[in-house]
Structure 1
Amino acid sequence: MSVRSERANRDEDAPRRLRALIVDDAEGMRAYLATLFEKRGFDVDTCDDGARALALLENGADPDLVLLDVMMPGTDGLAALARIRESWPEVPVLMVSVVGKAGTIVQAMQLGAADYLTKPFEEAELDAALDRLGLHSAPRADAKGGGKSAGQTVWVSSAMREIRAVIEQIGDTDVTVLIQGESGAGKEVVAREVHAVSTRATGPFVKVNCAALPTDLLESELFGYEKGAFTGANGRKQGKFEIASGGTIFLDEIGEMCPSLQAKLLQVLQDQEFTRLGGNREVRVDVRVVCATNRSLVGMVAAGDFREDLYFRLNVVAIDIPPLR
Structure 2
Amino acid sequence: MDEEETPRTPRALIVDDAEGMRAYMATLFETRGFDVDTCDDGGRALSLLENGAAPDLILLDIMMPGTGGLAALARIRSSWPEVPVLMVSVVGKASTIVQAMQLGATDYLTKPFEEAELDAALDRLGLHSSGLAGSSSRGRGVTDPSQTVWVSSAMREIRSVIEQIGDTDVTVLIQGESGAGKEIVAREVHAVSNRVKGPFVKVNCAALPTDLLESELFGYEKGAFTGANGRKQGKFELANGGTIFLDEIGEMCPLLQAKLLQVLQDSEFTRLGGHREVHVDVRVVCATNRGLLDMVAAGDFREDLYFRLNVVAIDIPPLRERREELPLLVETFLARYAVLYERPHTGLSQRLIEAMNAHDFPGNIRELENMIKRVVVLENEDSVLAELSRPRTNRSERRAELDAMLDEIEENAGELPLREVGRLFAQEVEREAIEHMLNLTGWNRKQAASRLGISYKTLLQKIRTCAVEVGG
TM, length-normalised to structure 2: 0.51
Partner of 1:95: 89
Task: Tell me whether 1:270 sits opposite 2:265 in the alignment.
Answer: yes
Task: Tell me whether 1:159 sits opposite 2:151 in the alignment.
Answer: no
How much has 1:112 moved relative to structure 2? 3.6
Cα distance change, pair 165–270 in 1 and its aligned pair in 2 (3 A)? same
Contact 1:69 1:77 in 2 (8 A): no
Tell me the secondary structure at the aligned position of residue 319 of structure 2. coil
Tell me the secondary structure at the aligned position of residue 283 of structure 1. strand
Q: 205, 209, 212: which is aligned to 1:214?
A: 209
Contact 2:199 2:239 in 1 (8 A): yes
Distance 1:77 1:156 in 2: 48
Partner of 2:187: 192
What percent of counterpart residues are identical? Answer: 67
Partner of 1:301: 296
Instruction: Show structure 2 runs of 5+ residues with no match.
Output: 1-11, 120-134, 321-472
Instruction: Show structure 1 runs of 5+ residues with no match.
Output: 1-19, 117-125, 136-141
Partner of 2:117: 133
Contact 1:23 1:53 in 2 (8 A): no
Paired residues for 1:112-127 under 5 Å: 112-116=106-110, 126-127=111-112
Q: 165, 172, 197: which is aligned to 1:170?
A: 165
Contact 1:131 1:184 in 2 (8 A): no
Q: 290, 309, 314: which is aligned to 1:319?
A: 314
Cα distance change, pair 150–177 in 1 and its aligned pair in 2 (3 A)? same
Cα deviation digits, residues 160-208 of structure 1 (max 9, x gap): 1111111111111101011111111111111111111111111111111
Contact 1:22 1:66 in 2 (8 A): yes
Tell me the secondary structure at the aligned position of residue 212 of structure 1. coil
Task: Tell me whether 1:31 sits opposite 2:23 in the alignment.
Answer: no
Partner of 1:257: 252
Paired residues for 1:40-55 under 5 Å: 46-48=38-40, 49-51=44-46
Cα deviation digits, residues 48-93 of structure 1 (max 9, x gap): 33347879995799xxx9462455549954258869996568xx65
Cα distance change, pair 97–155 in 1 and its aligned pair in 2 (3 A)? closer
Tell me the secondary structure at the aligned position of residue 219 of structure 1. helix
Task: Tell me whether 1:107 sits opposite 2:95 in the alignment.
Answer: no
Tell me the secondary structure at the aligned position of residue 155 of structure 1. helix
How much has 1:114 moved relative to structure 2? 3.0
Partner of 1:228: 223
Cα deviation digits, residues 207-260 of structure 1 (max 9, x gap): 111111111111111111112211111221111111111111111110000011
Distance 1:34 1:67 in 2: 11
For the pair shown, which has the larger CA radius of gyration, 1 or 2?
2
Cα deviation digits, residues 116-162 of structure 1 (max 9, x gap): 4xxxxxxxxx44x3378379xxxxxx645111002211212221111
Return the letter of the residue paired with 1:213. Answer: L
Higher strand share: 1
Higher helix share: 2
Partner of 1:205: 200
Distance 1:85 1:259 in 2: 37
Contact 2:14 2:25 in 1 (8 A): no
Partner of 1:290: 285
Tell me the secondary structure at the aligned position of residue 299 of structure 1. helix
Distance 1:157 1:294 in 2: 21
Distance 2:253 2:68 in 1: 39
Tell me the secondary structure at the aligned position of residue 318 of structure 1. strand
Distance 1:279 1:78 in 2: 28
Contact 2:87 2:100 in 1 (8 A): no
Contact 1:22 1:30 in 2 (8 A): no
Contact 2:250 2:301 in 1 (8 A): yes
Cα distance change, pair 227–286 in 1 and its aligned pair in 2 (3 A)? same
Tell me the secondary structure at the aligned position of residue 217 of structure 1. helix
Cα deviation digits, residues 259-289 of structure 1 (max 9, x gap): 1110110000000001111111111111000
Return the letter of the residue paired with 1:30. Answer: A
